[in-house]
Amino acid sequence: MKMIHLILVTIIALIAFYIQVDNPVYVFHFYFSVLIFCFLFGLVQKEPNICHISIMLAVVILIEFILFGTGLIDLGAPDDNYLIVGTKIFGIQLLINLFAIVLFIFRVQVSRFFSRSGKIILTDFDGLFHWIFIAAGIMNVLALIENAIRNGLNWKSLRFIYDIYTTFGYAIIAVTCGLLLTMLIIQVKNKQLT
C-alpha cells in the first residue's frame, strides 16, 4: 500500500469514527490526544516545526472547547431566538477560524518569536493548514447566511448547512490529523535517509 493510500484511508477512517462517536467532547479528547502525541514526537525528534504546529492547533481547539464545550457560550434552549443564538455561535466560530488562518499564515514568524531555533522553517504543510481553516470559515459564513434566511425569514425547511455542519467539522479535524500524520511520516523518512 502506498503512503498516500494509507493517509487517505486514515482520514476516511477518522471521519467515520468521529461521525460514529458523534460527541464533541469525546472527539475533542481524541483530537487533543493526537496533538499531544505529535507535540511529544516533535520534542523527541527535536523538530520544532511539528511542536509549534501541534501547539497552535491545540490553542485553536482549546479556545473552541473552552467557549462551547464548557458552556461559556450558551448553545441555546428550545424557546430561544435561534436567529440570535445561531448568529452568535457561527459568528464566534468564524472569528476562531479567522484567528487560526492568521496564526497559520504567519506560523514561521510566530514560531521564531517564541523560539530561536535555526530549524524553524517554512514546511510544505504550512501552506495547507490555513486552507483547512479557510474551508471551515467558508462553512461558517454559509451557516450564518442559512441561519439568517431560515430563522430571519422563517424558511424552516432550509437546513442543508445545519444538517452537515457537524460532519464537516469532524472531516476538518480528520484532515488535520491526516496532515499531522503525514508530517510525522515524512520526518521519520527524512531521518532514515540521513
pLDDT band at 183 (very low <50, low <70, confident <90, very high): confident
pLDDT band at 123 (very low <50, low <70, confident <90, very high): confident
pLDDT band at 139 (very low <50, low <70, confident <90, very high): very high
pLDDT (average), residues 20-43: 92
Query: Which of 52, 65, 15, 34 lies closest to 172, judged by CA?
Result: 15
pLDDT (average), residues 3-28: 85
C-alpha cell at 72: 461559556
Is the predicted pLDDT of residue 1 greater than 90, yes or no? no
The mean of the pLDDT values for the chain is 90
Distance from C-alpha of 120 to C-alpha of 47, rounded to nearest angstrom: 8
pTM for the model stands at 0.90
Distance from C-alpha of 28 to C-alpha of 63, rounded to nearest angstrom: 11
Per the listing, cell 431566538 goes with 81
Please name the helix (run of DSSP H) or strand (run of DSSP E) that holds residue 110, with its range, or none.
helix 107-114
C-alpha cell at 76: 441555546
C-alpha cell at 109: 514568524
Other CB atoms within a 10 A radius of the CB of residue 150 amount to 20
Are 143 and 90 within 8 A, CB to CB? yes
Is the predicted pLDDT of residue 75 greater than 80, yes or no? no
Per the listing, cell 461558517 goes with 140
C-alpha cell at 154: 422563517
pLDDT (average), residues 161-174: 92
pLDDT band at 194 (very low <50, low <70, confident <90, very high): low
C-alpha cell at 17: 469514527
Distance from C-alpha of 81 to C-alpha of 91, rounded to nearest angstrom: 15
- Residue that wins the pLDDT comparison between 190 and 158: 158
Query: Which of 78, 74, 103, 100 lies closest to 87, judged by CA?
Result: 74
